[in-house]
Amino acid sequence: MAHFAKVVGDTVTQIIVAEPDFFDSFVDSSPGKWIQTSYNTTSGVHYDPETNEPSDDQSKAFRKNFAGIGFTYDEARDAFIPPREYPSWVLNEDSCLWEPPIAYPEVDSDEQYDWNEETTSWQLIE
């Protein structure tokens, strides 16, 4: 089985699991197109579902990231891009994921940080 994303305009509106030959006889009269996506692909790398390590066969890495409803499909990059979490975050052209302008701090044991868009910085959660 494979995963397919329904893309209307450039937005993912639906995800289904089907055999690729399902589309040989499937009649979809609604606007949009179906594009295959890989459940085990993140940042352009396919991960083995058993080990969570990069797969030996990277031909299974489809379209940078597993699609989700609300994701954008960028045809020029042939990539699924998640919604931007914060206006200050920038798109990593290699991974097609949004990244903060400041790296997440190195943490001591249980410290956790949350992004503060107002100050565009990481704030320690107390």
pLDDT for the residue 72: 98
- Identify whether the C-beta of residue 5 lies closer than 8 Å to the C-beta of residue 80: yes
Rounded CA separation 105/121 (Å):
10
- The pTM of this model reads 0.88
pLDDT of residue 121: 96
Reported as a single tens digit per residue, the pLDDT across 37-84 is 999 999 999 999 999 999 999 999 999 999 999 999 999 999 999 999
The string of pLDDT tens digits covering residues 11-47 is 999 999 998 889 888 889 899 999 999 999 999 999 9
- Quick one: pLDDT at residue 109? 78
- Four-residue CA torsion sign, 91, 69, 26, 20: positive
For the chain, domain boundaries: 1-83, 84-126
pLDDT at residue 107 in the model: 81
Q: Is the pLDDT of residue 108 over 80?
A: no
CA distances from 79 to 87, 100, 108, 119, 120 (A): 20, 20, 35, 31, 27
- Judged against a pLDDT cut of 90, whether residue 126 lies above it is answered with no
Confidence of residue 93 (pLDDT cuts 50, 70, 90): very high
